[in-house]
Amino acid sequence: MKEFPLIPRSTSLQKTFSFVHNPIPVMYDYINEYGDSFYLYIGGVKKCLVTSNPNIIRHIMQKNHKNYEKSELQTKMLAQYIGKGLLTSEGDYWFRQRRLIQPGFHKNRIKNLVTLIQDVVDTHLEDLEVHRGKTIDVYPKMLEIAFKVIGNALFSSAASDDELETIESAIFRVQQFIIKRVRQPFMQPLYWIRGDMKKYKNLAQEIEEVILGIIRSRKKLNKQPDDLLGMLINTRYEDTGEPMSEEQLLWESNILFVAGHETSANALSWMLYLLAKHKDAAVRLKNEIDSELGDQALSFEVLMKMPYLNAVIMEAMRMYPPAWISDRVSKKEDQIDGHVIPANTMVLALLYHSHHRDEDWQNPLEFNPDRFLKTKNPNAYFPFGAGPRMCIGNNFAMLEMQIFLVQFIKKFNLDLATETDGTYEALITLKPKNGITLQLS
Ligand code: HEM
């Protein structure tokens, strides 16, 4: 049996500062020296197996997923702030919830959300009119759009703009705090002493109160609107015939907000950045939209007839995967490619690095949507994860991105402003570090 190489604790300690601030290049330093899989002491403390090898990632997430669970960072720690829902639960509880909620995210259900999503997108694009002929950082706008899309898809118009804003800003601040806790575990005592733990718990409670208010008033209705909350309220467990409790409704709604907001906003922003940089792709996309859509109203069916639109989205998520990393912990000892993975090993899956491997991609640094017209399911591609814990909102997110791009490209031409260079910041998600400033015309 072979051993994966171990990066000396002294080396990882030396790099702690740059790792906290910009982990992707630090991981490349290690990959260049030690290969695609190695053991690393995160923050000099926790020994983890880090891998960008797509076969190992598929093994832990899909092929032998039964032997792996999410780490406590993803479950217990996040659950303290956003509750125990799909993203943050494990085992039988997770499985029961996933079975219950999955049908609500089926393509046939999601199809009905086209008009709702388009309304949000169109209203926000109308607001952009005042910026025509000028430059604007589109990133804050994309966050707004993605938040409103998931907010409306969840609650229709039951949530006021003020309520959505309260939730959005609280989620943002809680996430920032969670990142600090993960990246600098040695600072933990200070967070307790300074009262940060309590402060952010209170903030999380603020979100809960707003969402609970909405759930309680919605439960009084005789007929639920056709939105995600309506689906969560109406659905029944197969074995007991019972609905979810109020607490479960709260947790699952909370989690859909958290999981479905920043990821989508980042994807939308990176797409605009790439299309502004690659005019030929923007023109080709516009031609596809003109010829397939013409003057018709947007529908799920017509979107399915636009392969280049789909390829642009897939390629943007390859180059800038919003979820750039994930993790699992082995339950029992396991083996892969002649290597032992001991029980209780935390495995960090570098999805970003896997999407840029020379071994799997031709010219990985090049934006080339055509590669997704040729190959539909590349092995080293995990924008929505893999296996049973794959993103439940993937169809929803694809629809949102498709609708947004069609409506945007119909309305605006885009050019890159000089200050936009595509620098990223890898926090929980991969976001544009200095925004995405574009010239709209
Ligand atoms: C471009 C947008 C999105 C990306 C790139 C993305 C990516 C991901 C990834 C990679 C995972 C799996 C994490 C893991 O296995 O460790 C995941 C899980 C999840 N996503 Fe998404 N997501 C997106 C949008 C959404 C949306 C819009 C929603 C909700 C409407 C959503 C809800 C969820 C939930 C609930 C989970 C946990 C599923 C489970 O564990 O059963 N996501 N997402």
Q: Is 232 in the pocket of ligand 1 (CB under 6 A)?
A: no
Q: Supply the pLDDT for residue 145.
A: 95
CA nearest ligand 1 atom 43, residue: 391
CA 382, 257, 106, 265 torsion-angle sign? negative
DSSP string, 72-96: TIIIIIHHHHH-SSGGG--HHHHHH
Helix (H), strand (E) counts: the chain: 20, 12
- Token reading at 29: 């330093």
Residue-level pLDDT at 184: 65
Q: How far is the CA of 203 from the centre of ligand 1 (A)?
A: 23
**Euclidean distance between CA atoms 192 and 74, whole angstroms:** 20
C-alpha 187: how far from chain center: 27
Give the residue-averaged pLDDT of 403-423.
92
* Position 318 confidence tier, pLDDT thresholds 50, 70, 90: very high
Instruction: Give the residue carrying structure tokens 């994930």.
Output: 326
Give one word for 412, left, alpha or beta, with left for phi > 0 and alpha for psi -120 to 50.
Answer: beta
Packing angle of the helix pair 91-101, 246-277 (nearest 10 deg): 70
* Residue 367, pLDDT score: 98
> Is the pLDDT reported for residue 378 higher than 70?
yes
Cβ–Cβ under 8 Å, residues 90 and 75: yes
8 three-class SS: coil
pLDDT digits (tens, 9 = 90+) for 265-281: 999 999 999 999 999 99
Summarize pLDDT for 172-204 with one digit per residue, the tens: 888 777 776 766 666 766 767 777 777 778 888
Atom of ligand 1 nearest to the CA of 390: 12
pLDDT of residue 251: 93
Position 312 scores a pLDDT of 98
Termini Cα distance of the chain: 60
Distance between CA atoms of residues 145 and 138, nearest Å:
10
The CA 245 to ligand 1 mean position distance, Å, reads: 23
| DSSP structural state of residue 61 | I
The residue-averaged pLDDT of 148-173 equals 84
Measure 130 CA to ligand 1 centroid, in angstroms.
34
Residue 10: per-residue pLDDT: 87
Task: Answer yes or no: is the C-beta of 260 below 6 A from any ligand 1 atom.
Answer: yes
Gap between the Cα atoms of 412 and 294, Å rounded: 16
Residue nearest to atom 26 of ligand 1 (CA): 260
Region 320-345 average pLDDT:
95
Percentage of the chain surpassing pLDDT 90?
A: 68
- Determine whether the shortest distance from the Cβ of 143 to ligand 1 is under 6 A: no
How many whole angstroms separate alpha carbon 392 and alpha carbon 98? Answer: 8
Return the beta strands (E) in 263-317 as ranges: none
**What digits encode the pLDDT tens for the residues 380-402?**
999 999 999 999 999 999 999 99
Q: Which of 391, 403, 429 to mutate to test the pocket of ligand 1 (most atoms within 8 A of CB)?
A: 391
Q: How many angstroms separate the CA atoms of 165 and 153, rounded?
A: 16
User: Is the CB of 389 inside a 6 Å radius of any atom of ligand 1?
Assistant: yes
For domain 98-320+390-440, say whether CATH 1.20.1050.10 is its number.
Answer: no
- Residues 6 or more apart whose Cβ sits within 8 Å of residue 239: none
Q: Which two tokens stand for residue 142?
A: 């994309």
Provide the mean pLDDT of the chain: 91
Say what the pLDDT of residue 186 is. 67
DSSP conformation class of 59: I
In this structure, what are the phi and psi dihedrals at residue 416, rounded to the nearest 5 degrees?
A: -75, 135
Q: Is the pTM of this model over 0.75?
A: yes
Residue 335, by phi and psi: left (phi above 0), alpha (psi -120 to 50) or beta?
beta
Q: Is the CB of 323 under 6 A from ligand 1?
A: yes
**Residues 50-76: tens digit of each pLDDT:** 999 999 999 999 999 999 999 887 888
Please say whether the beta carbons of 358 and 389 come within 8 A.
no
3 state SS of 402: helix
Quick count: other Cβ atoms within 10 Å of Cβ 240? 7
Find, among 47, 65, 48, 46, the residue nearest to 57 by Cα: 65
List, for residues 85-126, the tens digit of each pLDDT value.
Answer: 999 999 999 999 999 999 999 988 898 899 999 999 999 999
Residue 396 Cβ contacting ligand 1 at under 6 Å: yes
Q: How far apart are CA 20 and CA 182, in angstroms?
A: 9
What torsion do the CA atoms of 406, 407, 408, 409 make, to the nearest 10 degrees? 50
Domain ranges of the chain: 98-320+390-440
- pLDDT over 70 at 137, yes or no: yes
pLDDT at 193: 74
Q: Measure 134 CA to ligand 1 centroid, in angstroms.
A: 34
Average pLDDT over residues 41-50: 83
